[in-house]
């Protein structure tokens, strides 16, 4: 066991809930403090109710548990952010500044801050979007992630804070539900399919977006955090890719196992957000620097998602 004292902020969310379990397996239950705005149930290790907008409360938790690493996952995501842009900006930036400042003041070992494909806008190359590309996002979420990446880089270069970051694509997992993003359909669709319900998709059939299966996302996060500092050439945020698909392609993948699955399309305001994002991004910097490689393609993910959801919904073995 490694002697880290880790704080996860936003541990109750889609990614945080899975990451908490993985980090506890790696470092020990008692070494990983899971925190969120609301009490967390069913935990195998310590928890805190923590609003990351409150700097003094964050400092108290860091002192109490002798924290030396923070995974800062709390954020307002793309679709929810567009409903109240000022709130999204405040939550995403104030919480990040609180984390970066506590890390600087107390000399914390490492900080993890996830960025997103939302940093890209229509001016960026839509396919194989390079690591270093023009960043003109069209959502407040994307603007906050571009700003966050640059502040991460600033704190690293100016103060030596070891902040590490990944530009996650849409993350898909069976363990948890997504929290207000534009890629959420790609999780919801599996829940409808396994329950034999027709699915109405809020994106057009041909909307191609970068996606990543949860096990790959969690493994990539841990691998980045464990990589030697001198191997990391990117101190804003690494492009991270897994697969790219359209809603129609997920539906076809599901139909290989559930031939009667039905999908209809009713695009809403999230279509414009998706249209401003790339279809596939180039993650060669991550592959070169810390040997990133995804394991799941669409069909492998579909099989695994449906198998686990069948258990979750008490449907027995998937035929
Ligand atoms: P989520 O919305 O599921 O979870 C976020 C969690 O943060 C929630 O549990 C929420 O209660 C908590 N939170 C919100 N405000 C808080 C505050 N002020 N103080 C403490 N906690 C607060 O999000 P997620 O999908 O798990 O995403 C985690 C991170 O990964 C975010 O930074 C997000 O931008 C990034 N990301 C996610 C995806 C994805 O597809 N899920 C893709 C790209 C980037
Ligand atoms: N999955 C996220 C969203 O749709 C991308 O950051 O907001």
Q: Report the percent of the chain where pLDDT is more than 90.
A: 97
- Pocket test of ligand 2: the residue of 78, 143, 245 to mutate, having most ligand atoms within 8 Å of its CB, is 78
What does the mean pLDDT of the chain come to?
97
181 lines ligand 1 (CB under 6 A): yes
Q: What is the mean predicted confidence (pLDDT) over 139-164?
A: 98
Return the ligand 2 atom nearest residue 171 CA: 1
Q: How far is the CA of 148 from the centre of ligand 1 (A)?
A: 14
CA distance 29 to 287: 30
Write out pLDDT tens, residues 263-306: 999 999 999 999 999 999 999 999 999 999 999 999 999 999 99
Write out pLDDT tens, residues 308-319: 999 999 887 665
CA distance 9 to 248: 35
Q: What is the mean predicted confidence (pLDDT) over 103-130?
A: 98
Return the ligand 2 atom nearest residue 79 CA: 7
276 lines ligand 2 (CB under 6 A): no
Q: What is the mean predicted confidence (pLDDT) over 213-236?
A: 98
Q: What is the mean predicted confidence (pLDDT) over 10-23?
A: 98
- Pocket test of ligand 2: the residue of 137, 166, 182 to mutate, having most ligand atoms within 8 Å of its CB, is 182
Q: How confident is the model at residue 154 (pLDDT cuts 50, 70, 90)?
A: very high
Structural domains of the chain, ranges and CATH numbers in brackets? 6-168 (3.40.50.720), 171-211+242-312 (3.90.25.10)
Closest CA to 293 of 243, 255, 228, 246: 243
118 lines ligand 2 (CB under 6 A): yes
210 lines ligand 1 (CB under 6 A): no
11 lines ligand 1 (CB under 6 A): no
**Nearest residue (CA) to ligand 1, atom 41:** 171
pLDDT over 70 at 246, yes or no: yes
Q: How confident is the model at residue 141 (pLDDT cuts 50, 70, 90)?
A: very high
Q: What is the mean predicted confidence (pLDDT) over 133-152?
A: 98
pLDDT over 60 at 2, yes or no: no
116 lines ligand 2 (CB under 6 A): yes
How much is the pLDDT for 1? 45
pLDDT over 50 at 33, yes or no: yes
| Helical H segments across 122-262, by residue range | 140-159, 185-194, 214-226, 247-255
Q: What is the mean predicted confidence (pLDDT) over 87-100?
A: 98
Residue in this structure with the two tokens 């590309």, named with its chain if needed? 133
How much is the pLDDT for 318? 64
State the pairing for strand pair 115-116/170-172.
unpaired
Q: How far is the CA of 258 from the centre of ligand 1 (A)?
A: 31
Ligand nearest to the CA of 214: 1
Q: How confident is the model at residue 90 (pLDDT cuts 50, 70, 90)?
A: very high
- Give the helix/strand (H/E) hosting 210: strand 209-213
Determine if the pTM surpasses 0.95.
yes
Q: How far is the CA of 169 from the centre of ligand 2 (A)?
A: 7
How much is the pLDDT for 317? 67
Q: How far is the CA of 246 from the centre of ligand 1 (A)?
A: 24
State the catalytic residues: 141
**Nearest residue (CA) to ligand 2, atom 7:** 181
DSSP 8-state symbol, 52 = T
pLDDT over 50 at 98, yes or no: yes
Asked if 235 and 300 touch (Cβ cutoff 8 Å), the reply is: no
Write out pLDDT tens, residues 53-78: 999 999 999 999 999 999 999 999 99
Q: How far is the CA of 64 from the centre of ligand 2 (A)?
A: 33
Give the up-direction half-sphere exposure of residue 294: CA atoms within 13 A in the CB hemisphere: 24
Closest CA to 100 of 37, 166, 164: 164
Cβ atoms within 10 Å, residue 192: 18
């Amino acid at each position: 066991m490694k002697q880290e004292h880790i704080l996860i902020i936003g541990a109750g969310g889609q990614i945080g809930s899975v990451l908490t379990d993985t980090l506890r397996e790696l470092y020990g239950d008692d070494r990983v403090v899971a925190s969120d705005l609301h009490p967390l149930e069913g935990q195998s290790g310590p928890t805190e109710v923590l609003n990351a907008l409150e700097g003094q409360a964050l400092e108290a938790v860091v002192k109490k548990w002798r924290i030396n690493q923070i995974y800062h996952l709390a954020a307002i995501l793309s679709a929810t952010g567009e409903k109240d842009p000022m709130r999204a900006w405040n939550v995403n930036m104030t919480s990040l500044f609180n984390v970066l400042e506590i890390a600087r003041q107390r000399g914390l070992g490492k900080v993890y801050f996830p960025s997103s494909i939302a940093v890209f806008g229509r001016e960026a190359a839509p396919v194989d979007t390079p690591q270093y590309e023009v960043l003109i996002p069209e959502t407040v979420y994307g603007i906050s992630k571009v700003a966050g990446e640059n502040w991460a880089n600033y704190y690293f270069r100016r103060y030596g804070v070891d902040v590490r970051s990944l530009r996650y694509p849409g993350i898909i997992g069976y363990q948890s539900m997504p929290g207000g993003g534009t890629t959420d359909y790609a999780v919801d669709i599996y829940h409808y399919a396994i329950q034999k319900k027709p699915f109405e998709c809020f994106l057009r059939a041909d909307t191609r977006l970068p996606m990543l299966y949860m096990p790959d996302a969690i493994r990539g996060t841990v691998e980045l955090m464990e990589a030697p500092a001198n191997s990391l050439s990117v101190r804003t945020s690494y492009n991270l890719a897994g697969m790219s698909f359209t809603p129609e392609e997920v539906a076809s993948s599901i139909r290989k196992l559930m031939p009667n699955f039905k999908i209809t399309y009713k695009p809403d305001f999230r279509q414009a957000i998706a249209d401003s994002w790339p279809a596939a991004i180039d993650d060669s910097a991550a592959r070169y620097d810390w040997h990133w490689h995804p394991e799941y393609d669409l069909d492998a993910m579909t099989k695994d998602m449906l198998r686990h959801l069948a258990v979750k919904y008490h449907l027995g073995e998937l035929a």
